[in-house]
Structure 1
Amino acid sequence: MKISQITFTRFLAAMAIVISHFNKDLFLYKIDYISNIFLKANVGVSYFFILSGFIMIVAYHKKEKIEFFDYYKNRFARIYPLYVLGLLLYLMTRYSNFSAYKGILYLLGLQSWIPGEAMILNFPGWSISVEFLFYLIFPVLYNHFYSKGNKSVWVITVIIWVITQVFSNLYVGSSYYMGPHTESHEFLYYFPLMHINEFLAGNLAGIFFVKHCSPKNYDVPVVLLFILILLSLIFVPLFYHNGLMAVLFIPLIILISRNNGALTHLFSLKPLEYLGEASYAVYITHIPVLYIVREVLKWRWPSLDIDCIFWIYMGILILTSVLFYQYIEKPMRNYLKKIKVV
């Protein structure tokens, strides 16, 4: 089952994250309320994790059992080639941060398991540690719980989600949390087990969707939910990074997936769907592309203001991401999927 209209939302989330990582002198950060949204737009990663869990169920819900090797091979083929490309591009301008130890740690996708190591090389890649954990456990969950209709996983998911939210919101205000650029910060934000609730919640949302898939015009509820998400980021002073927004992201994902209104016709347009397909390239390469663009512009046009740099960067990022998707991600994915074990 393919849900074309949900694909473009990945691009929107990726672009929000890109802006959140850009220079805070940008004009968007000088606008009241808008600045609050983009300062917290890294919550888009939480959306990715929840959507990942949702899509896994939609993709596999008709199977009686998932074969481990084929599943792991396909998932590896999906995310690893561009992940390595992101590392290589990053090292073009930040090679002084490299060491053999860090190289091995990052190539194995283990950096987020070790507080203090997650943000050294191409820092958006911290999420690869989390995705690897999701991919490791999903076939087990599917074969032993989801495919058998075992309801205990619902209770377990709710318990894990509640514990994660309570811990995260208490920890961030405690004396144990030392603030940004510390190991306590990396533990809170990037440690893979902090995000397991998001994937599980996405799985359950997927199960609900495939069992109650009734298309209808949900344009108005989708718009209202999106506005509610923005208002929450502006006015509600809670910790969002570890799955709290699932209470709004899940209904948004389900309603967009069920919707047959004007928004679905818009989001399903082939160019927008294609941008959604290229969203992983946007996310995983946006920091090294930014560093490279910034170095080139500083050398060629040193007096450019930050807003001009932003628009040039955005155009180059989208173009390179499309090229990376078309000529690296897709061919490598297809090649790796064809590999057979004798």
Structure 2
Amino acid sequence: MTIAASAPKPTIYHAFAVWRFVAALIVMMYHFVHLSDDWRIWVPWLENMMPLLDLFFMVSGFLIYERYRHQLGNLKSFGTFLYKRLARLYPLHLITTTFFVLLGLGWEAGLIRAENGPYLFDWSALPANLLLLQAWGTTEWLSFNFPSWSLSAEWLCYLLMPLVVFIAARNGIPGLIFGAVIAYLLALFVIAQGWSAAQSIAEMKSWGALRGLGSFFIGAALVRFVEISTFRMRSHLVGQFAMGITVWLMFQPVAYGYILAALGGTLWLAALAERDNPDGMAWLRPGLPLFAVSFGIYLWHPILEAFFLKGVWRIIEPIVDFRIDWLFIPAALGTIIVALVSHALLEKPTGDWLIDRLRGRKTRHALAARTALMEGGR
């Protein structure tokens, strides 16, 4: 009798989860403080940390490549991969975009005020938003649920995932780094041609897919770096210290490339520690359900901003004696709560249902094929 070997237990990257969660909070507060009386102080200060958006793409490249690189052997498996990614991400995108569509209809009807209405509710850009093309240079500015540009960038990375796997198999780490360089050079070319309003790669959003692709390639390369690293790294504090240094660099007059390299090195150190000491951050595991909603915070916060900071504030402003800044914390807490509820009651159940439909169809096809084979043998 043979006993089937159990599948290896997947690595839990605690630091990645925490850093993505904190980065989502920083992006949320960055958008909130645009409404503050002191926005001239807070907006430029927080803009120093905008390279943390590249952290999202690097972590995504790392986790997606590590998990799926051996599962994309043919067109069918690639289609399954894309379906599963859409099942996890698109439902929330559709719901939050629909909210802004309804808001736009209210603005068109004169029921609500929106100083940036012509840009936020750019109906010509709605198809690109729904098709996740808004960060591919198809729109002049961001519209509707504007942070979803990063989801559009992710979608390009998913579509090019077979290319990432092919380059990694043929050329290894040098090939992946070369892919990142090409993506960043294309981004610089777009800026030089004046096709993007951004003055640097770190500012790119409507062409942010190129920026995201470059960081995605780096994330995939880090998987290979971890695999070839022979020395042991048991301390998780090293990675945390490296992240502190990286954030400090963001406030210094250093080139964007150095910050990307620092982010990559930080993720590499953290991944080594997870490999060599997987229980070293086990104390964070009770918080993983909270850290897992960074995507929800990212997409929900503009809606909570519209409700708290533009809706409620306009009602209470004439009768209260405090600044709008006092509403930032309730808006942030509300966003986190909505993201948690949304993940538990909407995103995960919907994603599971969609994936179960795919599995059920595969099972039915397999049973039909088996039945046909048996009947043919009679």
Deviations 1:247-289 (A, max 9, x none): 11222222223324997244x3322x11221110001121122
Matches of 2:128 and 2:40, distance apart in 1? 39
Residue 289 of structure 2 is aligned to residue 274 of structure 1: yes
After superposing the two structures, state which structure 1 stretch, 203-212 or 5-14, moved more: 203-212
Matches of 1:29 and 1:213, distance apart in 2? 48
Q: 2:344 aligns with which of 323, 326, 342?
A: 326
Q: How does 1:243-262 map to 2 (within 5 A)?
A: 245-259=259-273, 260=277
Matches of 2:96 and 2:345, distance apart in 1? 15
SS class of match (2:346): helix
Q: Give 2:113's aligned residue.
A: none
Q: 1:204 aligns with which of 221, 232, 236?
A: 221
Using the aligned pairs only, state the percent identity. Answer: 19
Give the gaps of 5 or more residues in structure 1. none
SS class of match (2:11): coil
- Change in Cα spacing, 1:36 to 1:269, as seen in structure 2 (3 Å) is farther
The CA deviation at 1:167 is 6.9
Q: 2:97 aligns with which of 84, 87, 103?
A: 87
- Change in Cα spacing, 1:138 to 1:253, as seen in structure 2 (3 Å) is same
Q: Give 1:139's aligned residue.
A: 162
Q: Give 2:111's aligned residue.
A: none
8 Å Cα contact 1:7-1:276 kept in structure 2: yes
- Change in Cα spacing, 1:170 to 1:111, as seen in structure 2 (3 Å) is closer
Q: How does 1:1-342 map to 2 (within 5 A)?
A: 1-5=10-14, 6-24=16-34, 37-61=45-69, 63=71, 65=73, 67-95=77-105, 96=107, 97-98=120-121, 101-142=124-165, 144-146=166-168, 149-150=169-170, 152-162=171-181, 176=194, 188-191=204-207, 192-212=209-229, 216-238=233-255, 240=256, 245-259=259-273, 260=277, 264-266=281-283, 268-271=284-287, 273-302=288-317, 303=320, 304-340=322-358
8 Å Cα contact 1:226-1:252 kept in structure 2: yes
Q: With structure 2 as the length reference, what TM-score do the two structures score?
A: 0.74
- Change in Cα spacing, 1:290 to 1:51, as seen in structure 2 (3 Å) is same
Report which structure shows greater RCO (CA 8 Å, sep ≥6): 1
SS class of match (1:255): helix
8 Å Cα contact 1:134-1:199 kept in structure 2: yes
Matches of 2:201 and 2:239, distance apart in 1? 33
The CA deviation at 1:44 is 2.2
Q: What residue identity is the alignment partner of 1:79?
A: L
Q: With structure 1 as the length reference, what TM-score do the two structures score?
A: 0.81
8 Å Cα contact 1:8-1:276 kept in structure 2: yes
8 Å Cα contact 1:218-1:261 kept in structure 2: no
8 Å Cα contact 1:213-1:258 kept in structure 2: no
SS class of match (1:21): helix
Deviations 1:194-236 (A, max 9, x none): 4322111111111222454876433342233122212211112
Matches of 1:63 and 1:213, distance apart in 2? 26
Q: What residue identity is the alignment partner of 2:247?
A: L
Matches of 1:114 and 1:177, distance apart in 2? 8
Q: What residue identity is the alignment partner of 2:340?
A: V
Matches of 1:111 and 1:167, distance apart in 2? 17
The CA deviation at 1:35 is 6.9
SS class of match (1:42): coil
Matches of 2:27 and 2:98, distance apart in 1? 21
SS class of match (1:65): coil
8 Å Cα contact 1:84-1:107 kept in structure 2: yes
* Structure with max Cα Rg: 2
Q: What residue identity is the alignment partner of 1:298?
A: W
The CA deviation at 1:88 is 2.1
SS class of match (1:235): coil
- Change in Cα spacing, 1:338 to 1:296, as seen in structure 2 (3 Å) is same
8 Å Cα contact 1:118-1:126 kept in structure 2: no
Give the gaps of 5 or more residues in structure 2. 1-9, 108-119, 366-378
After superposing the two structures, state which structure 1 stretch, 199-208 or 115-124, moved more: 115-124
The CA deviation at 1:73 is 1.1
* RMSD after superposition: 3.5
8 Å Cα contact 2:58-2:264 kept in structure 1: yes
- Change in Cα spacing, 1:37 to 1:211, as seen in structure 2 (3 Å) is farther
- Change in Cα spacing, 1:99 to 1:248, as seen in structure 2 (3 Å) is closer
The CA deviation at 1:18 is 1.1
8 Å Cα contact 2:51-2:202 kept in structure 1: no
